[in-house]
Each structure stands twice: as C-alpha cells, then as structure tokens.
Amino acid sequence: MTALPPYAQLLRLRIDDSVDDLRLVMPFHDDVVGRPGYLHGGAIAGLLEFAAFTTLARAIGDPAVAMKPITVTVDYMRGGTPRDTFATAEIQRLGNRIANVEATAWQTEPSSPIASARLNFLLERPGAKTTAR
C-alpha cells in the first residue's frame, strides 16, 4: 500500500480490510479534537474527502488520471464523539471528464451518520482532448 498524504497521516486514517466495501477508519485522538470531547469538523471533512478520493481512484484504476475536486459540500448532522469514525463513499456518476461521489461518516451505525458529503471531480485523462468553451 502506498503512503498516505500528510493530512491523512495526521488524521491516522486506515483502510478497514475486514469488510467487502472500501471503508476508512479515523480513530479518536488529540489531533482530531475540536471543542472538548468532540471531533473537529475539518477532520470529519478530511475523512469524507479521503473516502471519496480512494473510492474513485480504485474505480478508475489508472494512476495517470488526475482527479481534481470541483466542489465539496459537507452536511454535518451530529457531533462526533470520542470513538472511531468510519466513512464509505459511493460513485453516483463516472464519466470521461466528470465524476460525482457521495460519502458518509458514522460512528455507531451506518444508518446514523454524523456527516455526509457530495464531491464533484474533474477528471484529466492523459491524451484526452480538452475544448475551450
């Protein structure tokens, strides 16, 4: 497995290999604390973004394709508490130039998310023609 980017290392993210689908895990530790006893919103957003990037990269299967986020929208539903936080992502659309991905984070049950995100990516494929509009 390749080394994670520095921010993912700071969050101590890991991939949970005990499940069939891709699931990322972020343990609760001092670097992800916002207000006392709760996760920082930026740490939750980072977890969601890495889940989306990793899911999309695996689906594309070509490291030469550049994935550039166009928009990231995060909805916070409840505060994250001192425990492991999990995230998965699902590709809603994967085209030649654009991909739409939804990610969800939870702590106790996937049916009780603490946050979700919608990410739109521009895909730059090697050798693909781009047209100015």
| CATH, residue 70 | 3.10.129.10
**pTM more than 0.85:** yes
Contacts of residue 39, defined as CB under 8 A and 6 or more positions apart, other chains included, come to 28, 32, 33, 79, 80, 81, 85, 114
Specify if 41 maps to a domain: yes
Range of the domain at 80: 6-124
Specify if 130 maps to a domain: no
Specify if 68 maps to a domain: yes
Total number of domains in the chain = 1
Specify if 54 maps to a domain: yes
Query: Tens digits of per-residue pLDDT, 11-61?
Result: 999 998 777 788 999 999 988 888 888 999 999 999 999 999 999 999 999
CB count within 10 Å of CB 59 equals 13
Specify if 94 maps to a domain: yes
Specify if 84 maps to a domain: yes
